[in-house]
Structure 1
Amino acid sequence: MSHSQQSKKLVNSVDKCVDECLAGLVTVNPGLGLLSGHRVVVRTDIHDVIKSGKVTLLSGGGSGHEPAHAGYVGRGMLSAAVAGAVFTSPPPHSIQSAIRAIGKDNPAGVLLIVKNYTGDRLNFGLAAERAKAEGIKVDMVVVGEDCALTSTDKTAGRRGLCGTVLIHKIAGGLAEQGLCLEDIVKQVKAASHKMGTIGLSLSPCSVPGMGPSFQLGADEIELGLGIHGEAGVTRLKLVSAKEVVQIMLDHMLNPQNNTHLLVRKGDSVCCVVNNLGGTSVLELNIIANEAVMYLENRGILVDRLYCGTFMTSLEMAGISITLLILDETLKTCLDADTSAPAWPHPLLPSGVKDRKTPSHMTCSEPASGVVSTEKSFHTISKEEASQLYDIISHVTQSLISSESRLNELDTEAGDGDCGTTLARGAHAIRDQLGRHIVCPYTLALALAVLVETDMGGTSGALYSLFLTSAAECLKTSTTPEAWSEALKQGIHAIMKYGGAEPGDRTMLDPLHAASSVLSHELSQQTPAVEAFRRAVQAADKSAQDTVAMTAHAGRASYVGKDRLTKPDAGAIAVVTWMKAILEKLT
């Protein structure tokens, strides 16, 4: 296969990738060790475990499902895990060596936890029989909780998926309690029959050295696929997260589905939202929230909820959802402490074990745009208030009208949203602005809150800083000199917290140019409107001059100078609203 057909992977070699993966795991977790000559991860304190008289646990399977299964080796979970090549069942001799490592001289016995795949059943079964012949006490539980299959025809059976990890945790909890092998097997088998998993993929995975395992269109998703890229039950068009969760859980809980999970209203369940490898945390959290809302709307109690990367299919973008019907014993096992590095620890309120979906927390902040008026600040006349209202309205309209032009300028140096960001803030101001403007100080603070919350991002923070600092100069006066000082103080705040200086090719350049000219002209007794006209002209020239400047701040500083052929979008935005002010002053 040519390199162009292979998927990119950060490996040293295809042949050694599994061994080097396991070496990395034990390097990160020195409480784990590798069994010499085998792909077997064992607890380094295994001899102490055997001496304690407790049942030891072994699981494993093909690699490519990390952190399963070696990531679940630790106190309270597995005693050892054996790995095969990528998507390939481990050989019986390695499984047998793992059984010996945790079962020799252990009268309590060894439990093998095996996913329901033909290769795993055969290889683990053969190793178990050989171990028994050596006098080691061994039993095996096969987990197959896949709810994808709808056919009643004879098949290889339900596949073992992410629910297997819950069986690791339950068996580990029971073993730590000191239960005998027979009782652990009985309880684990009962738990596996109260569990279901359904998977969904957005993209394929690829075995190292090979191309994608299957093809999905850009707008397609596959429901019910396995963890090796094997086909699912149906292919669908991409829909929202809410609809995806509904499709998955409707299928899992549908009595017409031959492999459905029977969950009744009032049942207590554990829900696991699992990353198949290439799904972002952002998406996982959205799916987890939607899953809880779906289940709670059906009257199902989600008493345990886990969200993260449990059992993957290499880099496949997709998720699986697992449900386990709980009783008190299973809750205790899930809550029991473990040192296994891959088991998650959701943050619960202090002293609380049963999770509850939280309502939104409240805070004591005033509503957006509300500013205290307990003190007496400078107020303006109705005529001045009307002019100020017209100015702000015209500024918002100018920014909204300039959205496309500013986005186009920003595409060259940023992410192309400068115009949209400013327009969003302008819309918010226009919607909230009332004609009864009395105090410019409180108005400036209210505008600062609006741009901070509705505009957002860096621009929102900068303009909020600007307005908050400028407001202080308007507490006692609104003379031209007070407005000039407000402009100066706003600029100082941007420089202090934003890190930019004049000449860095940012919105600061026209602001600084305008402030310098305005301050000088007012000191020379130039009429206020004329002084501001000259300030706007200086700002316009400074904004155009940013074409030749080297960017030292903002996103543009990461872009090569030869690509910056247009004025800075933020600087042009400043000139846009300054010109809008001037138009209403004349």
Structure 2
Amino acid sequence: MAAKHFINDPTLLVNSALESLTLTNPSVALDSKNKIIYRRPSPSAKHQVSIISGGGSGHEPSFGAFVGNGLLSAAVAGSIFASPSAEQVRAAITSRVDTERGVLVTVMNYTGDILNFGMAVEKAKAAGVAAEMVVVGDDVGVGRAKGGKVGRRGIAGTVLVHKIAGALAAQGASLEQVQKVAKLTAENLVSVGASLDHVHVPGRQVSSKQHLDDGEVEIGMGIHNEAGSEQAKLDLPQLVKKMLAQLLDQNDKDRAFVNVNSNEVVLLVNNLGGVSVLELGGITTEVVKQLGSGWGISPVRILSGTYMTSLNGLGFSISLLNVVNTDIGGPSMIQLLDYPCEATGWAAPIVKETWETHNTATRDDAPQDESTEMKKSDLTTDAESFAASLTSGLKAVIAAEPEVTRYDTVVGDGDCGIGLKRGADAVLRHIQKNTPTSDVVAEVEKIVTVVEDSMDGTSGALFAILLNALVHSLRSANPGEATAQTWATALKHSCEALSKYTPARPGDRTLVDSLYPFVESLEKTGDLVNAADAAKQGALKTKGMHAVLGRAVYVGESRYDEVPDPGAWGLAAFFLGLAGLQLNEDDGWEAI
């Protein structure tokens, strides 16, 4: 693992890299606040479907360098390996692209991306924008059995979806047509990666557990350091043979996601960031030879290069696109793949005319604001007690951060505790600066805005959806003083709303394992202490529980026995803090 970097500050690294895109392609601009790369206003962009994608940084040139004529209209960046927030995506949809012909949002199959992009799409629809979303999951490295509810991860094959959809949009197709072809492309994609080592994220401590032994390769490794199907010592021909079998063998029912049997197949050999151009050429040759000799496949198009990375990952991925009839009466997938585009991340240079146009136009209009005037409600509470209880809960989350981070380092990517602490800190600052009123709905609504602005990733999206639904439920409650039963009923409705966006249920080893017991106990007993204890017991039960959602899915079985689910533990800390108790794994909860 290479842990040396020229830029060790991850925030500076992401921001400066985004800025560089405007320097190398004069047709794109940067909304630095929301980390959005977007096409500058031009006649060619005005009367077509806009296509927006994005995700965590660290996968460059995806996604920002694919913004340009004939490809993406905008790309939204999160911090390294973390999805952007729903507010960032909403800003892209409502203020950084043309919406006249509609907007197609494409995301890779990662929980945080689906939740945040999905929430933004729903908000855009509610505001009257014609918006649709396509989720791409092309990775076969983790099969059906292990993938479970999560499904296939999205990796490098996603860029083919972007290229084909972008070309179709540029030719004036409707939103319905562009969505159909994008989805069809995604459904006919298979990819698998392999790497000689994990990668180091700038600004994080180096973990010895992330190293692979000399000569060892991780087959099926994800683009965020996630584990694959196995680790083995293989030479390149043996490795390619195994990877192609995972992509093509129809007898492997765990991975036979696509029957690649059309007359036309597209091959993409992608550099994960740390393979030399020389070596990638040798890898490409080996892949093409084995496709012909072992599978009788002669690709009609071969793309080899750096399209979607895992920082400086010392690995590569293979993607195969089964070219099928689009049935829209227009250009074929191959014609769309060949259609000219102008984006620095694609193997097409910026044309002379673009440089000489000296287009300096930007979009200075602010994102379309949601209603900033909060409606007063008739649901009340004692403002002082509300503030004290909430403060206690937030401080409990902050205090639990080291423990949550330690747990997440064992079974995740180590950012859960920091994310929860970031949100708790922001809400705490808010209530210290703004004295809460007795209006329950107004106060929770203000907190929603703080959470949406301060928390990204999967946890941020889950809490934002839950709290938005809580506001709606509380507003529908009977007027008067908010009782424990009022909160329980509203939270129950919030859980139902959350279930529309995530398949997580009790027993799936997620924060839901704390949330549901809390709500059920509060509804049954009306006692906050009992409900908080139920949340803690639910969190403790996740120790040894097999994960079926999130990146913890890809962790080895033995590690689940070591710690409880980090998200469930952090949420239990909050509930116990609300009740004036603190979380103590060894001795049980105790009064603060």
The answer to which of 336-345 and 78-87 deviates more is 336-345
Give the corresponding residue for 2:240: 245
Which ranges of structure 2 fall in alignment gaps of 5 or more residues?
326-331, 350-592
Instruction: Give me the CA root mean square deviation.
Output: 1.9
8 Å Cα contact 2:220-2:228 kept in structure 1 = yes
Looking at structure 2, the residues matched to 299 and 117 of structure 1 have their Cα atoms a distance apart, in angstroms, of: 33
Give the corresponding residue for 1:15: 11
Q: Cα deviations across residues 434-481 of structure 1 (Å, max 9, x unaligned)?
A: xxxxxxxxxxxxxxxxxxxxxxxxxxxxxxxxxxxxxxxxxxxxxxxx
Query: Which of 323, 340, 346 is the equivalent residue of 1:326?
Result: 323
Give the corresponding residue for 2:296: 299
Looking at structure 2, the residues matched to 264 and 187 of structure 1 have their Cα atoms a distance apart, in angstroms, of: 18
Change (3 A) 1:130 1:264: closer
Give the corresponding residue for 1:131: 124
1:19 maps to a residue whose letter is: N
1:33 maps to a residue whose letter is: A
Tell me by how many angstroms 1:58 deviates. Answer: 0.3
Residues 465-544 of structure 1 mapped to structure 2, 5 A cutoff: none
Query: Which of 98, 103, 111 is the equivalent residue of 2:104?
Result: 111
Tell me by how many angstroms 1:326 deviates. Answer: 1.5
Give the corresponding residue for 2:161: 167
Give the corresponding residue for 1:473: none
Tell me by how many angstroms 1:49 deviates. Answer: 4.1
Tell me by how many angstroms 1:228 deviates. Answer: 0.3
Give the corresponding residue for 1:342: 345
Tell me by how many angstroms 1:100 deviates. Answer: 1.4
Give the corresponding residue for 2:263: 267
TM-score with structure 1 setting the length:
0.56
Query: Which of 34, 41, 44 is the equivalent residue of 2:40?
Result: 44
Q: Tell me, yes or no, if structure 1 residue 94 matches structure 2 residue 67.
A: no
Query: Which of 172, 185, 192 is the equivalent residue of 1:178?
Result: 172
Change (3 A) 1:174 1:24: same
Tell me by how many angstroms 1:259 deviates. Answer: 2.8
Q: Cα deviations across residues 362-415 of structure 1 (Å, max 9, x unaligned)?
A: xxxxxxxxxxxxxxxxxxxxxxxxxxxxxxxxxxxxxxxxxxxxxxxxxxxxxx
Change (3 A) 1:148 1:44: same
2:57 maps to a residue whose letter is: S
Tell me by how many angstroms 1:150 deviates. Answer: 2.4
Give the corresponding residue for 1:35: 31
Give SS of 1:96's match: helix
8 Å Cα contact 1:73-1:79 kept in structure 2 = yes
Tell me by how many angstroms 1:107 deviates. Answer: 2.4
Give the corresponding residue for 1:158: 152
Looking at structure 1, the residues matched to 256 and 271 of structure 2 have their Cα atoms a distance apart, in angstroms, of: 22
Tell me by how many angstroms 1:209 deviates. Answer: 1.3
Give SS of 1:301's match: coil
Give SS of 1:302's match: coil
Tell me by how many angstroms 1:254 deviates. Answer: 2.0
8 Å Cα contact 2:270-2:308 kept in structure 1 = yes
Tell me by how many angstroms 1:113 deviates. Answer: 0.6
Change (3 A) 1:285 1:50: closer
Which ranges of structure 1 fall in alignment gaps of 5 or more residues?
347-586
Q: Cα deviations across residues 61-106 of structure 1 (Å, max 9, x unaligned)?
A: 00000000001001110001000000000011111111113445x3
Give the corresponding residue for 1:199: 193
Give the corresponding residue for 2:228: 232
1:258 maps to a residue whose letter is: D
Moved over 6 A (4+): none
Count of residues paired in the alignment: 338
TM-score with structure 2 setting the length:
0.55
Residues 182-581 of structure 1 mapped to structure 2, 5 A cutoff: 182-210=176-204, 211=206, 214-239=210-235, 241-255=236-250, 256-263=252-259, 267-297=263-293, 298-327=295-324, 329-345=332-348
2:94 maps to a residue whose letter is: R
1:179 maps to a residue whose letter is: A
Q: Tell me, yes or no, if structure 1 residue 141 matches structure 2 residue 134.
A: yes
Tell me by how many angstroms 1:133 deviates. Answer: 1.6
Looking at structure 1, the residues matched to 193 and 322 of structure 2 have their Cα atoms a distance apart, in angstroms, of: 18
Percent identical pairs in the alignment equals: 41
Tell me by how many angstroms 1:12 deviates. Answer: 5.9
Give SS of 1:226's match: coil
8 Å Cα contact 2:195-2:316 kept in structure 1 = yes
8 Å Cα contact 1:50-1:102 kept in structure 2 = no
8 Å Cα contact 2:39-2:97 kept in structure 1 = no
Tell me by how many angstroms 1:282 deviates. Answer: 1.4
- Greater Cα radius of gyration, structure 1 or 2: 1
Looking at structure 1, the residues matched to 6 and 234 of structure 2 have their Cα atoms a distance apart, in angstroms, of: 29
Looking at structure 2, the residues matched to 320 and 76 of structure 1 have their Cα atoms a distance apart, in angstroms, of: 25
1:39 maps to a residue whose letter is: K
Q: Which has the higher contact order (CA 8 A, sep 6+)?
A: 2
8 Å Cα contact 2:194-2:317 kept in structure 1 = yes
